[in-house]
Structures are given as C-alpha cells and as structure tokens.
C-alpha cells in the first residue's frame, strides 16, 4: 500500500513536471557571427508587399505578432487549394486574435493583382482581417523573399505545377522575426499540429516578454 501511494505520488510529480516544462521551439536558419563574436540568429528582413485591398504590408504590420507565411497563387492547379483549405482551419482558430496574422504571398504576382487576390479571398470564404493576400509589382522580389528570408525553395521556370514550382510549407514566425517551425500546408494532420503549437509559442513569447 505504501509503495503504491509512493508510485502514485511519483506519477503525479512526473505529470506536473511535464506540464510545467515549456514547449521550446528551435530558432531555424544559419546564424550570423559578428566580428565581436556574437551570434545573431537568422531573421526575416524588412519587406514590402501590397495586400488584397491595395494597402501596403511591411514589417511594421507584423510588429509584435506571431504570423504564418505561405506561398501560393490563385491559378495554382495542384497543392494550393488544399493549403488554402487547411489555412481556413487556422483562420477559424486564431483569425480574431490581434497578436496573430497570416501572410499568403502570391508567386504569380503579375496575374494576382490586388483585385484578383480580393476575389480569391472572398470566394475562398476567408473573412479575417488578419489574413493578408500579398502581391508585388516586382515578380522576382517575392521569390527572393521566399528563398532568402523564409528559406524555402521554388522557381517560376518549372514546367510542372502551372509553370511554378514551389513547396506547400507554412512558416511559423515569432514576434522577433525568427522562424520557429515549418508545417506541411497540404497535410491536415500537420496543420493540426500547427494549431496546437501556435498557443504554445504565444505563451513562450509572453513568458519571455515579462522576463
């Protein structure tokens, strides 16, 4: 009986330990090392896009927020509808929270004008003001941002996939512009994992903020 209660206590302890250990997310990317020897983790640099309403979206828009970035285009014949469908679940979970955003960048920005993106957002049924669909007058720019900042591969020269080759990854970015995770946007289970991770990352950021 004694042993039993001890092991019960042990189990309880274990349980409570597990709960108080914060879920830690890696900071992804190759850090830079300064001349003085400090390491600076990889960050998303400043950016400038135009949203579905024709308004500018820059780093100032995401200041102090956690956000998801993804890359798609409205004429995409294969993976994008599934990504959009899965992102609707994320919107449903967090779309009304003011410390959270989704940035969906078009990889076909000359066709996907603000008007086209606005139509896409409406027809998809996305309603949150926190979900931005982004375009740019400079086609190469979005590919640079995707590769250099978000560390994803893709090109506009592929013969497959409607002429644009890209990944369906969703990138989770924290308030300090650090990449904290990649999720497969076409996989409903991985998107469920993302939906579980977002509050954990928010909690981590809050904890850090008060330190």
CB of 75 to another protein, least distance (A): 8
Q: Count residues contacting another protein (CB under 8 A)? A: 12
Using the contact rule CB under 8 A, the part of the chain among 23-31, 98-106, 121-129, 136-144 near another protein is: 121-129
By the rule CB under 8 A, 89 interacts with another protein: no
By the rule CB under 8 A, 79 interacts with another protein: yes
Using the contact rule CB under 8 A, the part of the chain among 7-15, 122-130, 151-159, 176-184 near another protein is: 122-130
Quick one: 27 or 93, whose CB is closer to another protein? 93
Contacts of 125 (CB under 8 A, 6+ apart): 88
Using the contact rule CB under 8 A, the part of the chain among 6-14, 42-50, 72-80, 96-104 near another protein is: 72-80
Quick one: 102 or 173, whose CB is closer to another protein? 102
Furthest C-alpha separation in the chain: 74
By the rule CB under 8 A, 120 interacts with another protein: yes
Sole binder of another protein in the list 45, 56, 77, 137 (CB under 8 A): 77
Q: Are 114 and 54 in contact (CB under 8 A)?
A: yes
Using the contact rule CB under 8 A, the part of the chain among 10-18, 22-30, 82-90, 147-155 near another protein is: 82-90
User: Any long-range contacts for 205-211 (C-beta under 8 Å, 24+ apart)?
Assistant: 205/66, 205/174, 205/175, 207/22
Count CB neighbours of 22 within 10 A. 12
Residues in a beta bridge with 48 = 58
Quick one: 123 or 211, whose CB is closer to another protein? 123
By the rule CB under 8 A, 125 interacts with another protein: yes
CB of 190 to another protein, least distance (A): 16
Quick one: 86 or 175, whose CB is closer to another protein? 86
By the rule CB under 8 A, 211 interacts with another protein: no
Name the site residues for another protein (rule: CB under 8 A). Answer: 77-79, 81-82, 84-85, 120, 122-125
């Amino acid at each position: 009986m004694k042993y039993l209660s001890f092991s019960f206590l042990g189990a309880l302890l274990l349980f409570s330990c597990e709960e108080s250990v914060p879920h830690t997310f890696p900071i992804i990317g190759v850090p830079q090392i300064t001349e003085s020897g400090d390491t600076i983790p990889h960050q998303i640099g400043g950016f400038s896009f135009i949203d579905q309403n024709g308004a500018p979206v820059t780093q100032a828009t995401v200041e102090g927020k956690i956000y998801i970035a993804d890359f798609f285009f409205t004429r995409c014949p294969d993976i994008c509808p599934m990504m959009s469908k899965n992102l609707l679940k994320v919107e449903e979970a967090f779309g009304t929270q003011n410390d959270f955003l989704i940035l969906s960048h078009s990889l076909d920005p000359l066709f996907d004008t603000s008007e086209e993106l606005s139509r896409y957002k409406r027809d998809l049924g996305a309603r949150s003001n926190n979900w931005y669909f982004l375009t740019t007058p400079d086609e190469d720019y979005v590919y640079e941002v995707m590769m250099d900042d978000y560390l994803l591969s893709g090109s506009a020269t592929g013969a497959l996939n409607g002429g644009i080759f890209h990944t369906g990854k969703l990138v989770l970015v924290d308030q300090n512009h650090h990449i904290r995770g990649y999720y497969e946007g076409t996989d409903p289970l991985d998107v469920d994992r993302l939906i579980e991770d977002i509050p954990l990352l928010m909690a981590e950021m809050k904890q850090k903020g008060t330190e």
